[in-house]
Structure 1
Amino acid sequence: MSKTVDFYYDYISLASYFGFMRLTELCRKTGATINYKPMLLGGVFKANGNTSPLTVPAKWEWMKKDFARHAEYYGIPYQLNPHFVFSTVSVMRGAFWALSEGRIEDYNRAMFTAAWADGKDLSSADVISEVLSDAGFDATVVMEAMTHPENKQALIQATEAAVERGVFGAPTLFVDDEIYFGQDRLGWVERALL
């Protein structure tokens, strides 16, 4: 019987981008399925008293180099987004629309690629609309869905549920009830799936 990986993420998280790009391949290889768990990383940080790596300059300088190494090693398209830090509230709400429509993987790929391969500002409505259209979505429909109260509430509730489960950053992955934090722990995730 194939296993499932719960994948908690936010498009603001560069590590989530690398995790997404590698996890989709890993699940194809192992036959596992991904249960996508969009959340708002800022809300998770606030609830846990955690802060962004940006607040520790030496750590951030190291992370930028480390991400570049990962991108080169795994052949993942990457550039440090010139608009970072950008707001992802709208596009994270849109993820709940994509989940309800069965289009979450395409939506995730479009948003992660826009942010971390193409360097686009996901806090701009015009940019979001363009990204959606380019990815084959009806931008008007999705942009409207981002304003619906049920999608706003879904993001709040999902973020609270993530914190209750023990999530403190992104990406966080669960196989069964075992937690794995960070895109650099996918080797352990793979072992848990075999």
Structure 2
Amino acid sequence: MAGKFEFYFDYISPFSYVANAAVQQISARTGADIVIKPMFLGVVMQATDNRPPGMVPAKGAYMMKDLQRCTTRYGLDFRMNPYFPMVSTRNLLRATCGLDNDPTEQKRFMDACFQHMWASPTPLKPDDDDSVRAMCEQEGFDFRQIQELAQASASKDAMKANTDSAIARGAFGAPTFFVGDDMFFGHDRLDYVEEALKAQA
């Protein structure tokens, strides 16, 4: 088996944090390539008239319990980010797009962003330069380079294209996955992603 599947995500989504671990297991089992698609979730939700679970009290209460279950299943540390959801992840997403010419470094940056957003005792505030600088210094990234990538026209265009394509293809939240034209929403649908990959083989 091999093939590929697309992983649309935003660092603001704690379930994308879970998915980032889960997709690695899918890729290891199937040999499929993961196509990284950083998208700006706020625009997707606005375009589809969706609301974050935390904005609905009953959903918010359930989400906290569910996140504990999900992170425990995948062996992940978890701390609720106190800045969620009222922060912008645009620059981190753009920088991630800008690293696409070096997949190893792109993956390392993704892992760092997710870890510092959702597991660090000093939570990342993604729209605060001092907070991002501290993460970069701790993880061995050049903060100035990350800033430059975030402001590069090519990075901005790539993130916008990912966001626009997600909306056009029917996405309404994160994480969202595609195997060909088939869409799967939520990390808990990755078993269906794996079945779709097997069907393509």
TM-score range, shorter chain: over 0.9
Query: Following the alignment from structure 2 to structure 1, what is the Cα–Cα distance between the partners of residues 154 and 72?
Result: 40
Output aligned runs, 1:30-69, within 5 Å. 30-69=30-69
User: Structure 1 stretch 133-142 or stretch 59-68: which is displaced more?
Assistant: 133-142
| Percent of residue pairs bearing the same amino acid type | 36
Q: Secondary structure at the match of 1:174?
A: strand
Query: Following the alignment from structure 2 to structure 1, what is the Cα–Cα distance between the partners of residues 197 and 154?
Result: 33
Q: Secondary structure at the match of 1:100?
A: coil
Q: Deviation of residue 27 (structure 1)?
A: 0.6
* Aligned residue number for residue 70 of structure 1: 70
Aligned residue among 100, 108, 122 for 1:106: 108
- Which runs of 5 or more structure 1 residues have no equivalent in the other structure? none
Q: Deviation of residue 66 (structure 1)?
A: 0.5
Query: CA deviation digits over 1:48-78, x for unaligned, max 9?
Result: 1111112211011101110111112221111
Query: Following the alignment from structure 1 to structure 2, what is the Cα–Cα distance between the partners of residues 8 and 81?
Result: 21
Query: Following the alignment from structure 1 to structure 2, what is the Cα–Cα distance between the partners of residues 154 and 38?
Result: 9
Query: CA deviation digits over 1:139-173, x for unaligned, max 9?
Result: 11111221223322322222111111111110000
- TM-score (normalised: structure 2): 0.91
* Aligned residue number for residue 79 of structure 1: 79
Question: Does the Cα contact within 8 Å between 1:3 and 1:32 map onto a contact in 2?
Answer: yes
Query: Following the alignment from structure 1 to structure 2, what is the Cα–Cα distance between the partners of residues 28 and 62?
Result: 31
Query: CA deviation digits over 1:120-150, x for unaligned, max 9?
Result: 2122111112212322222111112212233
* Aligned residue number for residue 188 of structure 1: 192
Aligned residue among 135, 142, 145 for 1:138: 142
- TM-score (normalised: structure 1): 0.94
Question: Does the Cα contact within 8 Å between 1:38 and 1:95 map onto a contact in 2?
Answer: yes
Query: Following the alignment from structure 2 to structure 1, what is the Cα–Cα distance between the partners of residues 161 and 73?
Result: 36
- Which runs of 5 or more structure 2 residues have no equivalent in the other structure? none
Query: Following the alignment from structure 1 to structure 2, what is the Cα–Cα distance between the partners of residues 32 and 155?
Result: 23
Matched residues, number: 194
* Aligned residue number for residue 15 of structure 2: 15
Amino acid at match of 2:196: A
Query: Following the alignment from structure 2 to structure 1, what is the Cα–Cα distance between the partners of residues 142 and 14?
Result: 26
Question: Does the Cα contact within 8 Å between 1:5 and 1:32 map onto a contact in 2?
Answer: yes
* Aligned residue number for residue 170 of structure 1: 174
Q: Secondary structure at the match of 1:37?
A: strand
Query: Following the alignment from structure 1 to structure 2, what is the Cα–Cα distance between the partners of residues 146 and 99?
Result: 12
Query: Following the alignment from structure 2 to structure 1, what is the Cα–Cα distance between the partners of residues 31 and 157?
Result: 32
Query: Following the alignment from structure 1 to structure 2, what is the Cα–Cα distance between the partners of residues 133 and 25?
Result: 28
* Aligned residue number for residue 123 of structure 1: 127
Query: Following the alignment from structure 1 to structure 2, what is the Cα–Cα distance between the partners of residues 82 and 184?
Result: 25
- 1:155 has 2:159 as partner: yes
Q: Deviation of residue 113 (structure 1)?
A: 0.6
Q: Secondary structure at the match of 2:151?
A: coil
